[in-house]
Copies of this chain bind each other. A is one copy, B any other.
Amino acid sequence: MEQINNTLTVNESTYRALREKILFGEMLPGRAFTLRGLAESLGVSPTPVRETVRRLTAERALNLKDNRRVSIPEMTEKRFQEIRHARLILEPELATLAMINIDKKTINLLINIDKKTDTALLKGDLEGYMRGNYDFHFTIYRLANNSVLLSLVESLWLQFGPYMRLVYNHLGTNSLDDQHRVATRALENRDCIAFKIAIMEDLQQGMTFIGASRTLL
């Protein structure tokens, strides 16, 4: 069932490249992209780019406009609240499911990821912070061993990633404090409720931060 040959298809590597760009804010909303332009910047023909764009459009990470141009969807207050709402429903659920599969080793891994994230935060390294934050959450979520919920949450992260970056670009990362440590402490105590609450708080805090600054954009 697994991919034996570890050489990825051009299609797959194109997808991963574009997905990362979106997730960590290298492609910002508003600007329109051309298929040929993306293809050239990735050194491939337009064909795999087109398929990748269709795929990312299905995940709501990209938008095919009426004039057939492709872009990152614009954020509205309404859509922002919808994403926040969906995240608050699904992510604490996923975290709770993951809890029983998180052993001491994983907790140490999480603490390590968090340290790196903190370092990036202090240095003002935006991409490092965003990657660390992503790793922290998805290291947990993957352990829920629930691919159906996981793919729904992945779609949500693809949808708000670009805006997170946009906000950090304007405000810097100073005002963020770190809820991850609260979460790892709850894990060490095997306190399921406290862990779920920490994930919710972390998410609330991030979304409030972004939401409060949306008017600046």
Contact = CB atoms under 8 A, between A and B. Distances in A.
Interface residues of A, number: 34
Interface string A137-150: 00000000011110
Interface in A129-184: 146-149, 151-152, 155-156, 159
A109 interface: no
A15 B100 CA distance: 40
Interface of A is mostly: helix
A82 B147 contact: yes
A89 B90 contact: yes
Interface of A: 1-4, 11, 50-52, 54-60, 65-66, 79, 82-83, 85-86, 89-90, 93, 146-149, 151-152, 155-156, 159
5 contacts: A54-B55, A55-B58, A60-B151, A82-B149, A85-B149
